[in-house]
Structure 1
Amino acid sequence: MRFAPTAEQKQFAESLHDLLAGADTPAAVREWGEGRHEPGLKIWRDLADLGVPALLVPERDGGLGASAADLVVAFEVLGYHAVPGPLVESVAVAPRLAPRESLPALASGELLATVASPPLVPYALDADVAGLVLRVRDGGVERARSVAGPVRSVDAARRLFRVRAGEALGDAPGEAFELGLLAVSAQLAGAGRWLLEQASAYARQREQYGRAIGSFQAVKHLLADVATRLELARPLVHGAAVTMTACDVSAAKVAAGEAAYLAARTALQVHGAIGYTAEHDLGLWLTRVRALTGAWGGAAWHRARVLAGLDVRDG
């Protein structure tokens, strides 16, 4: 199986990148973490103009009826720019879980949604700003009755809330979880690419002993290892979008998470002490990757699911 983005997907990704490159997302992330949502919501409205919230909403309900592959293309860019908010929940998951009357508002970007699905997704992300809060339990989906929180996350911009179940809305298709997991994996791949680019650029600028540290063989090897891991993970994410099997989606999550985490560690090592400062943007991506690697199930859980999917037995 070989996945290659179409010309339309490449153009869509470029449009998203151009929009977000001028949006000052680091400032919006910092504001979001302090509970001031307007800068982030402004970005959300701009994304809605490009059709991001409408991707998985059926055409009959005002959406684009796009594919999981289109979703991955979008979330790689969103992860690269560390856009705050319940993007996975609103764009990837809610279109499969929300009542039909909510779908046009989701597609237009007027409605933000969030989802809790214990035990792997115990909290609802950004429930204080979402107009639709859902909970998946025992194969069904419910509208949340009340919300308490936030629960502290390693990423200050990920505000997590406890959710109590409420009105039953119907069955919860398993595809909703896979789409959410796929979107998180794409975010990790995009964030890892940003970290690699920043580390590479800094290595060309920072000097020791009169030479740019990027000229040292040890630093080249560190960056090359990251580039290799990211290049190996990306096809798994795109391939999982084509097959949409549990085994492939979990494999993509593990690979993207480990590659992004290596990128984060390497970027911090290359930057040195300045990478630890709160004022440096690097920390926003470091904490985002750290949070997302454990979100929607950790590596151990997903490895076990891959093993089960491969039907590996002793002997």
Structure 2
Amino acid sequence: MDLRPDPLQQRLRDAVDTVLTRTGDLSAQLATIGVPSLNAPERLGGLALGLSADIVVNERLGYALEPLGCYRETAFALDMLDSDDVPAEHLAEILADLYKGTRHAVVVGARGPAGIQVKPGGRLWGESEPLPRSAIGLCVVRTADGDASEWRLVVPEPGTCVTESIDHFGMPASRLRFEGAASQPLPVSAAHWERALAAARVRQAALLLGIADRIVDVARAHVNTRTQSGKPLVERQTVAHRLALLIGEADGWRLVLNKAAWELDRDEHPNTAAVLAVAGEHAQLASRTALQLHGVRGMLAHSTAASVYRMVAVESVRLGTPTDLWLEAASTT
């Protein structure tokens, strides 16, 4: 089993790790190495390097415990905009800001029933689900009209699109409130939507596996230094075996993730619902195990174990719970 990254992935991994050592705005710093334009469509001014490059960025962000959900949201929205029917020149100024990391895009209504209504004149009313906290410059919105739904494009304007800062399971988030926001129809075919959602799931799975790797490393360091009855905790088989199982499973899931990214880049159709489900379950198990192994120390609000537990609680269900994803995966096989 060869888990070594290819040369491009290794160079990108090193570049992201270097950025993560800097101070300042993380989005702007990542923009200096081409994020999020690395995998953005060429027609929108991106480099279109493929998901195999994109998952490296998300895995390293996860390992650094810097989830930066606005990055994946922007990539998701750009995939939705990759249509010849969408005039790229109309979005040129906004795209420039997205690639500089000064503004971000979001996809509203991708995680469940559409809750945004379209009124006469294409005006939108309603409230979004919790979204990553960021400066939002572009919205791709799914709207509801009875049993039917459609996608619309919104450039937020003061007074008609209000951003509220909220906490979601103890993590910073935003909610958009549309109060007569102007919109235009966005042509999105079923195949286009499925491809964009599949790519978003692969990115999210990469983040979750990165978070899981980090908390397993933290737990491993803890049990090697924490003594009980005169010997390190790691010398107890029940502790060592649990960590060994997590490490071994992580290698397998990483191969599954890279295979799914490779297949999507070749316009094939991997079962990304299953990929995200296993990544979510693995991250949940890793965070619970770390919390248990840290004991009371892990329950302190400022501890890494507690912080990761809250982070995983949000990120592992952002694009659907593992249970729902497994049901979808089973229905498509």
In terms of fraction of residues, the more helix-rich structure is: 1
Q: Distance in 2 between matches of 1:225 and 1:166?
A: 52
Q: CA deviation at 1:188?
A: 0.3
Q: Distance in 1 between matches of 2:22 and 2:295?
A: 27
Residue 19 of structure 2 corresponds to which residue in structure 1? 19
Give TM-score, length-normalised by structure 2. 0.79
Residue 279 of structure 1 corresponds to which residue in structure 2? 302
SS at 2:316's partner residue?
helix
Given the alignment, which residue of 231, 235, 245 partners 1:225?
245
Are 1:215 and 2:235 an aligned pair? yes
Q: Distance in 2 between matches of 1:111 and 1:160?
A: 14
CA contact (8 A) 1:113 1:133 kept: yes
Given the alignment, which residue of 81, 84, 88 partners 2:72?
88
Q: CA deviation at 1:47?
A: 0.7
Given the alignment, which residue of 153, 172, 178 partners 1:142?
153
CA contact (8 A) 2:102 2:135 kept: no
Residue 202 of structure 1 corresponds to which residue in structure 2? 222
Q: CA deviation at 1:135?
A: 1.4
CA contact (8 A) 1:57 1:107 kept: no
Given the alignment, which residue of 15, 26, 35 partners 1:52?
35
Residue 9 of structure 2 corresponds to which residue in structure 1? 9
Q: Distance in 1 between matches of 2:269 and 2:109?
A: 16
Residue 161 of structure 1 corresponds to which residue in structure 2? 175
CA contact (8 A) 2:70 2:134 kept: no
Are 1:171 and 2:182 an aligned pair? no
Look up the equivalent residue of 1:66 and give its one-letter code. Answer: L
Q: CA deviation at 1:71?
A: 1.1
Q: CA deviation at 1:130?
A: 1.8
How many residues are paired up? 290
CA RMSD for the aligned pairs? 2.5
In terms of fraction of residues, the more strand-rich structure is: 2
Give TM-score, length-normalised by structure 1. 0.83
Q: Deviations over 1:157-195 (max 9, x none)?
A: 3x1414437402412331222222211111001000001
Residue 29 of structure 1 corresponds to which residue in structure 2? none
CA contact (8 A) 2:274 2:326 kept: yes
Q: CA deviation at 1:285?
A: 1.7
Distance 1:233 1:141, change over 3 A: farther
Q: CA deviation at 1:274?
A: 1.0
Q: CA deviation at 1:228?
A: 2.4
Structure 1 unmatched ranges of 5 or more: 25-38, 311-315
Task: Tell me the percent identity.
Answer: 24
SS at 1:66's partner residue?
coil
Distance 1:169 1:97, change over 3 A: farther
Structure 1 outlier segments of 4+, above 6 Å: none
Residue 107 of structure 1 corresponds to which residue in structure 2? 99
Q: Deviations over 1:37-95 (max 9, x none)?
A: xx5xx1111111111111222345442221011111111111111223412102x2121
